Structure 1
Amino acid sequence: MAKLKLVPSTDTPRGQKRRREKPQRPVLDDDLRDSSAGIIAVKAVRREKPSNESPQVLHQNDDDDSDDCNVSSEDEAHYMISNKSDALDEMESSCSFQRHVTHVLANDEVNALVNQKSKFKWEMPAEDIPKSKWVGTGEKIKGASDDPFVDVKGKLKDHWQKILSDDLNYRSRFFSLCNSYRDIMHCNKKPFYLKGSKVDSSTMDAYLMHALSHVHRTRDVVIKNDAKLRNDANTDVMEDDSYRDQGFTRPKVLFLLPLKSIARRIVKRLIQLSPLTQKDNSMGQFKKEFGESDDELEEPNSSKPTDFNLLFAGDVEDHFLFGIKFTKKSVKLYSNFYASDIIVASPLALKLKIDGGEVTKKKGRPKENDSDFLSSIEIVVVDYADVISMQNWSHLHAVLEQLNHLPSKEHVTNVMRIRPWYLDEQARYYRQTIILSSYLTPEMNALFNGSCLNYEGKVKLATEFTGVLPKIQLEIRQVYERFDASSIGELDDARFEYFCTKVYPKIQESDEGRSVAICQFLF
């Protein structure tokens, strides 16, 4: 059996200046290196007794960032093993984050998730959303607590109270849903154009706060375990599951958005909600590529409806992909994907990245596909799904299908500290997916029911609509035409051929003015 060889870390005395070194990789035998099979083999290797060398402390960070590679003396003092830290551990273990990531799935739970046996069996009122209610699977969510932010780290909570003040409670309702770590589909989000040019950001703030809380929780657990390993060189990492605190790769949150203008608004708000300060060099590049103002359209076109003017104000490019990294003191944009905590992307750009780009070649060979940085995504937020549905819905579906697969190569990861459910290929059952839209479509419903398999359960908004057909004043003539197709697989081609040969010639010959053709998928 191939064995894992540990590289001992160098302990740094407190107060002494730390050397800035590149993190060391775990040394693997040849049959384990650069293969997903080698990662699976670790499940058998981890039961073996390690040598008496110091356990390796390894972060999934940039090689050139000393802020992440070393823990400050203040952090070490905070995480020193003591009676106080034991009490802290007991309190931390009860938070929703720890309950979610430390849960062990039984075989019958996995079978139920695979067979899609869960049903929406409970409901609760949706406050501030008329004629709506939340329905869900699994255990019913408990009523609102006195402090919905009780699980949030103090530094984050204090910062949010400072910048949001009284609005914090308004955002707490949706934050509580997000913090339950269930899959969520909210398809009655208040349209962005109802309040004029002012966007209602309450739902956006809630999921951004949840993403920040998850990233900081993940980082704190790793730092705390690193400090424990430094204090006790004889700790047996393989025998204690509490030290398994990482995934195959570092990125944990994925934001899928339709347009650059929307991505700019969300990233700027994310930085405002973070207590850390950003670096000027990365923000300069961000402003250059995404613009500086949220109101780039000086004079809205009066001949266009309000939603058109607001949606298409600013940069409407649908190809963007970059990483965001959090260190002790700063938020860094455009970080390497494998050193990032959050990935912000459009479905189109991420689909091209997964496929290896366009016909780009390197050294005479096709560009290699690279999607390993998506192997450990734990939270996915699909915002403005209604806009994405008007672009190419198949790109979104293809991206979600690529999440949480075993990586094809070995990356800078201490394999002994990978969570067991990653090694058991169960990461998709722990992933939380949040879908937000102004209205519901059959495609969104199918995606939510088929691709979201969170063991915690699902929650979706059910709304009773009064209908609008009696309110339509204009007489609109609708014509439906039937066409034949040999099979369902040939349906799209048959529809397109019928349109080109039968319908479009009639439109060309008519004198009724301009026409618009709407297709389901745009390539």
Structure 2
Amino acid sequence: MNVGTPPDPFHLHFASLGQHGKAASALAAQAASSSSPSALPAYTLTTHTYDAIGPILQYDTPHTLPSTQDRLQETVRNAYHAHLQARHCRPPSPLQRSTLNLIQSYVDLLHPYLALSQRDQVRETVAAHLLSHVQNTRRVILRNNERPAKAAASDGGKSAKGKGASADDMDLDVQDDEGEGGEAKTNDDLDELVRDQGFTRPKILVLLSLRNSALSAKRFLRDFTLPEGTLDRLAQPDASARFPADHVATFQGNIDDSFVLGFKVTRKEWRAYARSDSDFLSSIEIVVADQLDVMQMQNWEHVKFVFSQLNHIPRKVHASTNFARVRQWSLDGAAPYLRQTILLSSLDTPEVRALFAPLRNVAVRRRVLAADDGKKGLKGGKKEEGAAGMVADGVRQVFVKFDCANVQAEADVRLAHFTTKVCTSLSLSLSYSARTPSYFNFVLLVDHLQELEEKDELRFTSIS
């Protein structure tokens, strides 16, 4: 590493016994010995302003890394800049530079105000960050594959621990890694230095709402576009006049929400994995959840379930796991304290905040604020009314309380109260609409209404 060059966030954050790794292991041990299910890093709140993004609330910890300029892996940087020149005829925009500065030090980020016009720029930058992480990870592994052989040669031919993936298997040329520690002086040092992996191979998880968001060229056109002969109304010339821009962007193309993809990135190509039931979530190092506002209109319980299953120590030993190469903080169950989580949404909702609040990254958490934060409640120098004050005069608002002795049965009790008490009185009206708080409640209510429709007691339609 050159004198005066800022340290590489990748090595500082993910090294087996680096500054962040030790802090994460200590927090994991603290959580294991206390009655609290998790120990959160201590933090202080500061506010910063980023070009083209605006104000950001930063949860600083003692281990916060300074923001750095472009530290993308060289191959990825060249491809990223070439892509921008070919597609947009320009270098990275101010928004893309600010986004890269925000995420490349492996901090958690919540952006709940991502405009439609900004979405593609942020996606391109996040994708470059993910590819840079994959390249850095593989380069470290390949370099460490050579260390035992070098140590054995310098030690008179004695064998050393730490067999890893071969260069042929990883399909990447071995190169030096910037910012990596020096050579091991003892066998114990070597054993620790080559700990560069998790329990399983997958390192990145990207959650998307619909197939059209995952659409990529070439082989995926078949699986992620509409079936042959199907008319896409939102691809017609008059779509922009008939529907809002965000509606067209979200629902154009294949909107199936049941899909999963796995990739292995090699030097020459991307290889798709077959479906597997392995503990692939155990060693995830970066999670990206895009269009969380759309996911809230699907089944939010699925999102919460996926996050609840991240970074658990596998229940069974996998043949591909080499424990001599597993990082110490992974063995300590500290992976949640080092995982980077990037949450993107166009709406700031309590559910999205609840997903962000318990994140435990020792680096730092950053939340993009609304442009008018600090002046909220004021509009034109006058106090702005809340949503309840916008209800038209004469509209009656009724808040109904029902008894529920068991919180686990709350959904069933609420549905029963609605169908037996509320729905009966509403049926006297000419028409009415009902909105459910979750997709689970929606399915239960639709089933009930279908039963009533079969009895010719009412007619209804559902929108989901």
Q: Does TM, normalized by the shorter one, top 0.5?
A: yes
The structure 1 residue matched to 2:161, chosen from 234, 237, 250, is 237
Aligned partner of 2:273 in structure 1 is 335
Structure 1 Cα separation of the partners of residues 136 and 72 of structure 2:
8
Aligned partner of 1:114 in structure 2 is 38
Aligned partner of 1:397 in structure 2 is 304
Aligned partner of 1:308 in structure 2 is 247
Corresponding position: 1:157 with 2:65: no
Matches within 5 A, 1:277-356: 283-284=218-219, 286-291=220-225, 297-298=235-236, 299-300=238-239, 302-332=241-271, 334-336=272-274
Give the gaps of 5 or more residues in structure 2. 32-36, 153-157, 163-187, 444-464
The structure 2 residue matched to 1:416, chosen from 324, 329, 334, is 324
Q: Which moved more, 1:224-233 or 1:135-144?
A: 135-144
Question: Match for 2:428: what amino acid?
Answer: E
Structure 1 Cα separation of the partners of residues 386 and 334 of structure 2:
49
Identical-pair percentage: 28
- Residues 335 and 180 (structure 1), Cα distance of their counterparts in 2 relative to 1, 3 Å cut: same
Does the CA contact (< 8 Å) of 2:108 and 2:361 recur in 1? yes
The structure 1 residue matched to 2:367, chosen from 457, 460, 463, is 460
Question: By how many angstroms is 1:412 displaced?
Answer: 1.4
Measured against aligned partners, the alpha-carbon deviations of 1:154-195 in whole angstroms (never above 9, x if no partner) come to: 2221222222244415212111111111111111111x2xx5
Aligned partner of 1:18 in structure 2 is none
Question: By how many angstroms is 1:321 displaced?
Answer: 0.5
Question: Match for 1:158: what amino acid?
Answer: N
Does the CA contact (< 8 Å) of 1:249 and 1:411 recur in 2? no
Measured against aligned partners, the alpha-carbon deviations of 1:57-89 in whole angstroms (never above 9, x if no partner) come to: xxxxxxxxxxxxxxxxxxxxxxxxxxxxxx68x
Aligned partner of 2:399 in structure 1 is 481
Aligned partner of 1:509 in structure 2 is 428
Matches within 5 A, 1:115-264: 115-116=39-40, 118-129=42-53, 132-139=55-62, 145=68, 148-149=69-70, 151-165=71-85, 166-170=90-94, 171-190=96-115, 192=116, 195=117, 200-233=119-152, 234=158, 236-237=160-161, 239=188, 240=190, 241-264=192-215
Aligned partner of 2:339 in structure 1 is 431
- Residues 218 and 515 (structure 1), Cα distance of their counterparts in 2 relative to 1, 3 Å cut: same
Number of aligned residue pairs? 375
Question: Match for 1:409: what amino acid?
Answer: V
Does the CA contact (< 8 Å) of 1:100 and 1:430 recur in 2? yes
Measured against aligned partners, the alpha-carbon deviations of 1:113-163 in whole angstroms (never above 9, x if no partner) come to: 933353442221133245x33322315967765xx21x3222221222222
Question: By how many angstroms is 1:436 displaced?
Answer: 1.0
Question: By how many angstroms is 1:491 displaced?
Answer: 3.0
Give the gaps of 5 or more residues in structure 1. 1-86, 269-282, 339-369
Structure 1 Cα separation of the partners of residues 347 and 264 of structure 2:
33
SS for the counterpart of 2:366 is strand
Question: Match for 1:460: what amino acid?
Answer: R
- Residues 178 and 235 (structure 1), Cα distance of their counterparts in 2 relative to 1, 3 Å cut: farther
Matches within 5 A, 1:24-43: none
TM-score calculated relative to the size of structure 1? 0.64
Question: By how many angstroms is 1:460 displaced?
Answer: 1.2
Does the CA contact (< 8 Å) of 2:65 and 2:105 recur in 1? no
Question: By how many angstroms is 1:462 displaced?
Answer: 2.6
Corresponding position: 1:99 with 2:12: yes
Give RMSD over aligned pairs.
3.2
Measured against aligned partners, the alpha-carbon deviations of 1:360-417 in whole angstroms (never above 9, x if no partner) come to: xxxxxxxxxx341111100000111111111121111111111112222323132211
